[in-house]
Amino acid sequence: MTSMRIRNLGFLPRIGLTALVLTLVGGTAASGYFLYLMQENRDERPGLTINDVKAHYHGVTRTSDLQAALDRGHPESLSPEVRAVLKAWLAQSPDEMARAYNDPDALDLTPMELIERNCVSCHAPGATAEGAHPAVNLRAAEFGAIRPLTLSREIKPVDKRILALSTHVHALSLSLMGLVMGGLMLATRMPRLLTHPVACVIGLGLLADIGGWWLARDNVQLAWLVVAGGAVFSGGVTVAGLMVVLDCWLPRFGKPSSAG
């Protein structure tokens, strides 16, 4: 067995192996960064969250800016009643929203009046109230002027043909990468207690990740499978790479073997 060990390779092959492993691990990091840039804006809000993954593999409803602001408790000063009225208004169709916006026959305050009273001090060009945000203008005599801020819409998942192409590319290349790194790791002298579980999760992680791409199409919660599987796979490959490099360069323990 010992003759198969990586540490028993000559100096030059160990240099080459180390360079290859570093390139591979670097490549994993680069594809992680590429994914981040690609997916970060899938839900059309900044920052990479589970929602981006859900949007990509399942599709999501992108809530309107006004809805999102009200949902996250903005502004704090708003009374629960008014918040509820505005949310109910936003839940309607665009036509209904337009009709109700400044409906002259309304008995209660119209959405326009509620926005005038509660939002415009901060949200109008030149607003100077403390904590104002004039970049978002909510002063609008006509619904049309704030319409874009009120529209929720569907974000479609990635096209099936593109997903199939991506599966084809990634399933083949990543499984080979997992096989190579896992195999190399198993040829190190690192303890089995470490290498065996890592070899196991590299495989399961990749299966969960790529399987999740397809399963999440029907069940949005399975987007977590993509995230967890991807994290476990790339973490596992990185750990395996680290062990291979360490094994290349750590001094031999115990009785030296004949090869080398």
Nearest to 63 by CA among 176, 155, 174, 125: 155
* For ligand HEC, the closer CB: 68 or 109: 68
Distance CA 202, CA 46 (A): 30
Question: Binding of ligand HEC at residue 123 (CB under 6 A)?
Answer: yes
* For ligand HEC, the closer CB: 116 or 247: 116
Site for ligand HEC in 68-97 (CB under 6 A): 68-69, 74-75, 77-78
Contact with ligand HEC (CB under 6 A) among 25, 90, 97, 122:
122
Do residues 122 and 132 touch, judged by C-beta distance below 8 A?
yes
Distance CA 236, CA 195 (A): 10
Do residues 91 and 151 touch, judged by C-beta distance below 8 A?
no
**Residue 243 in tokens:** 């062990």
In this structure, the number of other CB atoms found within 10 A of the CB of residue 87 comes to 13
Do residues 133 and 149 touch, judged by C-beta distance below 8 A?
no
Nearest to 172 by CA among 118, 228, 210, 216: 210
Binding footprint of ligand HEC, residue count (CB under 6 A): 20
Contact with ligand HEC (CB under 6 A) among 90, 119, 206, 227:
119
**Residues whose CB is less than 8 angstroms from the CB of residue 80 and which lie 6 or more positions away in sequence, other chains included:** none
Distance CA 204, CA 181 (A): 14
* For ligand HEC, the closer CB: 74 or 99: 74
Listed ranges 13-21, 91-99, 121-129, 238-246: which one lies at the site for ligand HEC (CB under 6 A): 121-129
Listed ranges 6-14, 122-130, 220-228, 251-259: which one lies at the site for ligand HEC (CB under 6 A): 122-130
Q: How far is the CB of 67 from ligand HEC (least distance, A)?
A: 9
Question: Binding of ligand HEC at residue 137 (CB under 6 A)?
Answer: no
* For ligand HEC, the closer CB: 42 or 189: 42
> Which residues lie near ligand HEC (CB under 6 A)?
65-66, 68-69, 74-75, 77-78, 118-119, 121-123, 129, 131-133, 136, 138, 149
